[in-house]
Amino acid sequence: MLIGISAQLSPELLHALASMGHGDELVIADANFPAAKLARRLVQTTSESTTRLARAMLMLLPLDEFVVAPLALMQAARPQDQNAPALADLSAALAGFGKVEQIERNAFYERAAQAFVIVATSDARPYANVILRKGVIAQGGTGYVA
């Protein structure tokens, strides 16, 4: 254990975060996501909440300030899924970190297949998937300052 580091972040996950470069993307995926099939690099977690895991990561990972939307959610594929609890939960939790875009399901899968790492969770909620795009860590260890 480390002081100030969420228990949600395993040593393997911390290594993946530290290994990412500016512009690299990380996918946090729900239990139904085809993570093993799509991943170049896969990190399995026991986290039951994509939302809690994303918030823990965002305490350590600066987001890319050179793109319009450094965060992306999978868009609901069917009209009856528009109000999926995971989408509302993630949208609210991520709102303070940067612009969040919604990506069509198949386009999300294609983008995920190009990600630096996919982090698989045990979150059973449909649409509990998010992409984070890493930014620059400025001198002194904080996010990029213009």
Q: Where are the beta strands (DSSP E) in the chain?
A: 25-29, 42-44, 71-74, 100-103, 117-120, 130-133
Mention the CATH class of domain 24-133: alpha beta
Structure token digits, residue 21: 């470069």
Q: Which of 24, 81, 89, 109 is catalytic?
A: 109
| Whole-number Å distance between alpha carbons of 54 and 129 | 10
Q: Which of 30, 64, 89, 123 is catalytic?
A: 64
**CB 35, CB 42: distance < 8 Å:** yes
pTM for the model: 0.92
pLDDT of 44 reads: 97
Active site residue 15: no
pLDDT of 2 reads: 77
pLDDT of 21 reads: 96
pLDDT of 142 reads: 58
CB-based burial of residue 97 (10 Å sphere; 0-12 exposed, 13-18 middle, 19+ buried)?
middle
Which parts of the chain have pLDDT scores under 50?
144-146
117-120 vs 25-29, strand pairing mode:
parallel
What are the structural domain ranges in the chain? 24-133
Active site residue 109: yes
DSSP 61-92: -PBPTTSS-SEEEEPPSSGGGTT-HHHHHHHH
| Whole-number Å distance between alpha carbons of 94 and 53 | 11
Cα–Cα distances (Å) from 53 to 50, 90, 104, in that order, read 5, 11, 23
pLDDT of 3 reads: 87
